[in-house]
Structure 1
Amino acid sequence: MNDLPPEGATRRRATIVTLSRQAGVAPSTISRALKGDPRISAETRERIAKLARELGYTPNALARTLSSGRSGLIGLVLGPATHPIYTALLHEAVAQGAERGLRMLIIHAGAGPIEDTTAEVLLQYKVDGCLITSATLSSRAAAVCAGNGVPVVMVNRVAREHGSAVACDNGAGGAELAQLLLARGHRRFATVITSNPTSTAVEREQGFLSRLEQDGLRPMLRLDGQSTYDGGYAAGQRIAALPPGQRPDAVFAVSDIIAMGVMDGLRLGGLRVPRDLSVVGFDDIAEAARPIYDLTTVAQPLSAMVRRGLDLLAARMTNPDLPDEAVSLRGRLVVRGSVRPAADNTPAG
């Protein structure tokens, strides 16, 4: 008996039943053979695997979901698509999820709180869990996820409602950048922040300010970088337009994308980085290392953050009663050419 359609005809999707008819064995034998069950002889397993390849058989994920109650699908909620940090997080999450046999349902939420409709979409697709890399989980959306047994882990954010979180130690990173600038002799500072400060941006600025306060210093200027390159560029132009005596000698931007805009605004305003003033950022996106920027920054441990986030999520998918956890991972100071060198203290002669 041959179930294959004539050449040129539309072929229906191969199923377990199709394979069982072709192979002359029970559907349960097909299922076990494809799973590598040792109770099925190696010869039969190989014959069935070959037949499956010939017919283009792939497992029916929907049927598997209905039978097991698990979809193997993870919701991934991303921040603004224009920000390179979220592109990097996307690549890490998809790659590491694939290593664990997980598929990602990618949802772009942008900036601001996650709306209830986003949470409803996640539930409609029967996700087993959710990784959120940006935005704030509203109390309503958190209640929807919790009420339906969907564990939530925030990555690069601090959970304020239901859910666990993995983030860089932003406060410590901000303090390290301040310490570096102080050690290089800077005393007049500007900070360039975001228009709608997230917990991440606030912690970075607070860490930076706390270290300055230890030396009795505070920024002479605080500008809004709007979380974008263009916002940073406008801030750089404003700084460049100041009289020399009112101008800072170092600028701390709460993200690399803002810092890169600041540097271009300063340069087109006639100032040289780092000869006239130093600039530092935070994140260590790939573009920060380009020679035109050579930006000093704090590298977020993105790979480790995603790995720990998936670990937390997997544990709560297995045991929903586990308590929420907040994990903080240390960033790495990356010193490049956007900060002036340390003063040469070698005695003359």
Structure 2
Amino acid sequence: MASLARAAGVAASTVSRALRNDPRISPDVRDRIVALAQEVGYTPNILARSLVGGSSGLIGLVLGPVDNPFYAELMQRAVTQAAARGWRLLLVHAGPGPIEQATADALLQYRVDGCLITSAELSSRAARICRDNQVPLVMVNRVAWEHGSAVSCDNDAAGALLADLLIEAGHRRLAVVSGNPTTSTSIERADGFIRRVRAAGLPEPLRFGGVNSHAKGFEAGQVIAALPAPDRPDAVLGVSDLIAMGIMDALREAGIAVPGEISVVGIDGVAAARRPPYRMTTVAQPLEDMMERALDLLNARMNGVHRADEVVTLRGDLVIGQSARLPARLTAG
């Protein structure tokens, strides 16, 4: 900035104000400084600006494992919507496990103005880091256990809806393959499903799981396929589309027809699950709306006014595919 100021014959503070479109700088001076900046390829240093003005324009985005297509779709929407607000996203984590010290350090080192967190096993530690350092926090696709606001799909309702449809279609032996046992998303989806099965007076669903991955779904599908035919479930919920795709792959490899012999449903609505060879019946999360609400909550908290934590829950959309036998009223015509 100093060299740009010398070229323009003004103070560095004037250059800084001109590049921020400060109304105190005359249009002629501002235009001359902008033209010089473009000529030399100058771009303002965000971190340096944060030291002066206290705002970096950076939003931390903590993602889950990149091999899950859900997170790729969520990231795409986050990038697009943040850019429309003039914010830049800083990807500070992409992994399947608990939040690491390196991630915590990045949240503070880069002086993020706020943080969006979606990763699975992180709620308590991430919330404490943000709280202790006055970094506004919003969870997306999960609920904060201790601190921070959150935006999520109505996961309990999604699980309940799929159970009701499967039961109405005549399924009587059901199973659920869960993801990470400590995450709100997995817990709520499985709970909603199991509650409706119990309410219908059917046998307790078989339960599998432990990790939200295609491999874990495939493993559960292999176990189901190896059961004697009378003991096999006739319908299975994978609490994520990724898990459900693994279940379908294992069943088909074992020669079991989906949905002829076993129906399989998922939750998330990722594009990969809607395409061949899956064409999955699933409940799609309203990602566009979820991200918009999350950024609204974050923006309100970044403005310096104290606000109580909020939990916003949005209803998912049923996507009718070909992976499950459904009530005739949904498939007729």
TM-score by length of structure 2 reads 0.90
**What's the CA shift string for 1:259-283, capped at 9, x where partnerless?**
1111111111111111112110010
Does 1:155 find its partner at 2:130? Answer: no
Matched, 1:234 2:219: yes
Aligned AA (2:170):
G
Measure, in 1, the Cα distance between the counterparts of 2:199 and 2:111: 51
Shift of 1:342: 3.5
Secondary structure in 2 matching 1:114: coil
Kindly indicate whether residue 90 of structure 2 is the aligned counterpart of residue 111 of structure 1: no
Structure 1, unmatched stretches of 5+, are 1-14, 345-349
AA matched with 1:143: R
Measure how far apart 1:58 and its partner are.
Answer: 1.3
> Are 1:109 and 1:135, in contact at CA under 8 Å, matched by a contact in 2?
no
CA contact (8 A) 1:151 1:320 kept: no
Aligned-partner Cα distance in 1 for 2:237–2:124? 33
For 1:214, the equivalent position in structure 2 comes to 199
Q: 1:38 to 1:325 in 2, by over 3 A?
A: closer
User: What is the alpha-carbon distance in structure 1 between the residues aligned to residue 306 and residue 218 of structure 2?
Assistant: 48
Q: CA deviation at 1:140?
A: 5.3
How do 1:240-251 and structure 2 match up within 5 A?
Answer: 240-251=225-236
Q: Distance in 1 between matches of 2:312 and 2:69?
A: 23
Tell me which of 300, 310, 315 is aligned to 2:285: 300
* Alignment partners' CA distance in 1, 2:15 and 2:92: 36
Match of 1:321 among 300, 306, 329: 306
1:175 matched to 2:180? The reply is no
For 2:126 and 2:21, the matched residues in 1 are separated by 41
Which of 38, 45, 48 is 2:33 aligned to? 48
Q: Secondary structure at the match of 1:76?
A: strand
CA distance in 2, matches of 1:143, 1:199: 18
| 1:278 to 2:234 alignment | no
Please report the RMSD computed on the Cα atoms of aligned residues, expressed in angstroms: 2.2
Which is higher, the Rg of structure 1 or of structure 2?
1
- Answer yes or no: is the 8 Å Cα contact 2:65–2:71 preserved in 1: yes
Asked if 1 retains the 8 angstrom alpha-carbon contact of 2:175 and 2:233, the reply is yes
What is the alpha-carbon distance in structure 1 between the residues aligned to residue 255 and residue 210 of structure 2? Answer: 20
1:287 to 272, 297, 309: 272
2:242 to 254, 257, 262: 257
Deviates more, 1:22-31 or 1:319-328: 22-31
Q: Deviations over 1:2-58 (max 9, x none)?
A: xxxxxxxxxxxxx2x433433344545544443445665545443332222111121
The equivalent residue for 2:318 is 333
Distance 1:40 1:194 in 2: 56
Map of 1:8 onto structure 2? none
Q: CA offsets, 1:236-281, max 9 Å, x none? A: 2222222222222111111111111111111111111111121100
Instruction: Indicate conservation of the 8 Å contact 2:98/2:121, yes or no.
Output: yes
1:66 — aligned with what? Answer: 51
CA distance in 1, matches of 2:235, 2:47: 56
Equivalent position of 1:80 in the other structure:
65
CA contact (8 A) 1:191 1:219 kept: no
Q: Provide the C-alpha distance between the structure 1 equivalents of 2:229 and 2:49, rounded to a whole number of angstroms.
A: 68
Comparing 24-33 and 216-225, the one that deviates more = 24-33
Give, as a single letter, the amino acid of the residue that structure 2 aligns with 1:84. P
d(CA) in 2 for partners of 1:203, 1:140: 21
Q: Which has the higher mean CA deviation after the structures are superposed, 240-249 or 106-115?
A: 106-115
Partners of 1:179 and 1:166 lie apart in 2 by: 25
Figure out how many residues of one structure are paired with residues of the other and give that number.
Answer: 329
Q: Structure 2: how far apart are the matches of 1:273 and 1:59?
A: 56
Distance 1:26 1:214 in 2: 73
User: d(CA) in 2 for partners of 1:19 and 1:241?
Assistant: 71
Percent identical among aligned pairs is 59
Larger CA deviation: 115-124 vs 241-250: 115-124
Query: 1:136-183 deviations in whole A, cap 9, x for unaligned?
Result: 446555333212211111111110122111111000011111111122
Whole-angstrom CA distance in 2 between matches of 1:43 and 1:319: 34
Deviation at residue 286 of structure 1 after TM alignment: 1.2
Q: What is the deviation of 1:215?
A: 1.3
- Is 1:81–1:108's contact at 8 Å kept on the other side of the alignment? no
